Amino acid sequence: MIFYLISILVVIADQLAKYLIRLYLPVGETLHVWGFLLTHYENAGMAFSLFQGYARLFAVAAVLFVMGVFYYRKKAGEKRFLMEAGLGFLVGGAVGNAIDRILFGRVTDFLVSSSGNGILNLADHAINIGIVLLFLDAGVGYVRRFKRK
C-alpha cells in the first residue's frame, strides 16, 4: 500500500508545483520563496539538458520503466518497507516527468540546486530519494544476511 500512496502523492505534488510555476513564473524568471531559489526552465531533453528534442522518447522509456517496476513487484517475494517506498518514489517521479513530456514535449524544472548543479523539479528529487531508499534497503538486507551466518 505504501508503494501506491507514495507514487500517487509524488505525482500530485509534482504536477501541482509545475502547474503553479507555469502559471505564475515566466520562463527564465527567478523568484526567492522561503529560502528557495526558483527559476522556471523548460527542458526538452533529459538530465543536464542532454539530448534536447527527445522528450517524447524519454516518456516512452519512463512508461517502460514503470511497467518493469510493476512486473518486478509482482514477481518479488517479500515486500519490504524501504523497497516499496523507494520504488514508489521512483515510479512517482518517472510518471510525473512522463506526463510533462507527453503533454508538453518538455519537462518543467524550477528548483535551483544549492550546489549550482542544475535546475530540478519535485519528480527529479523523488527519483533521487527512491534511489537512496533502494540502496538503504540493499544495505539492510546485506546486514541481515551477514548476521544470520
For the chain, the first-to-last Cα distance in angstroms comes to 32
Decide if 137 is catalytic: no
At 45, the pLDDT band (50, 70, 90 cuts) reads low
Report the b/e string of 103-142 with b at 16+ CB within 10 A: eeebbbbbbbeeeeeebbbbbbebbebbeebbeebeeeee
- 51 or 110, which is more confident: 110
Nearest to 94 by CA among 119, 118, 70, 76: 70
Rounded distance, CA 31 to CA 51, Å?
27
Residue in this structure with the C-alpha cell 544470520, named with its chain if needed: 148
To the nearest whole number, what is the mean pLDDT of the chain?
Answer: 88
Instruction: Tell me the domain boundaries of the chain.
Output: 2-47+54-141
Q: Where are the alpha helices (DSSP H) in the chain?
A: 2-24, 55-75, 81-104, 122-148
Question: 48-79, pLDDT tens digit by residue?
Answer: 555 555 566 767 788 899 999 999 988 887 88
Residues β-bridged to residue 7: none
Question: 111-142, pLDDT tens digit by residue?
Answer: 998 776 788 999 999 999 999 999 999 898 88
Rounded distance, CA 67 to CA 71, Å?
6
Residue tagged active-site, from 14, 100, 109, 137 = 109
Residue tagged active-site, from 14, 100, 124, 137 = 124
Rounded distance, CA 146 to CA 105, Å?
47
pTM over 0.85, yes/no: yes
Decide if 14 is catalytic: no
Written as nine digits, the cell of 35 is 529560502
Rounded distance, CA 54 to CA 56, Å?
6
